[in-house]
Amino acid sequence: AGACLQWIGDEFYKSEKMDPSIPNVYALMDEKVRQIPPGSDYLIFTPWMYGERAPIDDHYVRSSFLNLSAEHTRENLLRAVYEGVAYNIRWIVEIVENDFKFPLPHLRVIGGGAKGEPWMQILADVTHRKVETVCEPQDAGAVGAALVAAVGLGLYPDFESLKKVVKVERAFEPQEKNREIYDCLFHSYQEVYSNLRGFYSRLNRKRFDEANL
């Protein structure tokens, strides 16, 4: 997810990144995303910049913009990136629930991307689940490791007691008005991999296998 956001920021918002009057280009990108209606005018992005590991393990598949038309703008592509990551997360969530019978009624998100309100709302809308973020989400991995160690040292009696320590900062509820468009595009997103996996394998097998010789 982070690699996709960094890529589109580096390649499509390069001048804004270099502008000293814009202290945070990612905050600007969030504002641009808000200007585009849900679905990005039926533009789909697949976030497989370095191949994919979840929910499928495929070294050869790569990212694409699909259904790109002349009327699409830079901001359409930007929102499509946000949405493409959300489609991939929904794909994972549905496999966890349907194949492993592990219910995920809400999602708690960590990492730098969790600071972006539009992205979290898109994730809630695409997955039809409440999305929660914690304080300082970019440090959550380190905090989690420290808390695991604290339980091991007996500073906390069990993991259940950590619920009082890790507090939710923001919560995003799915908006029913966006269900239809996102369900339509999500199912199309799933078809992309099944329809193009052979294409990517043929195209990239020689490219990557020769590079590793």
Per-residue pLDDT reduced to its tens digit, 37-94: 999 999 999 999 999 999 999 999 999 999 999 999 999 999 999 999 999 999 999 9
Closest CA to 141 of 112, 170, 165: 112
45 bridge partner residues = 65
- Quote the tokens at residue 104: 């995920």
Strand order in the sheet with 106-109: 106-109, 130-134, 168-172
Per the CB < 8 A criterion, the answer to whether 205 and 60 are in contact is yes
- In order of their start, the domains of the chain are 2-207 (3.30.420.40)
Between CA 55 and CA 87 the distance in angstroms is 11
CA angle 187, 193, 199 (to 5 degrees): 145
Per-residue pLDDT reduced to its tens digit, 160-206: 998 888 889 999 999 999 999 999 999 999 999 999 999 999 999 98
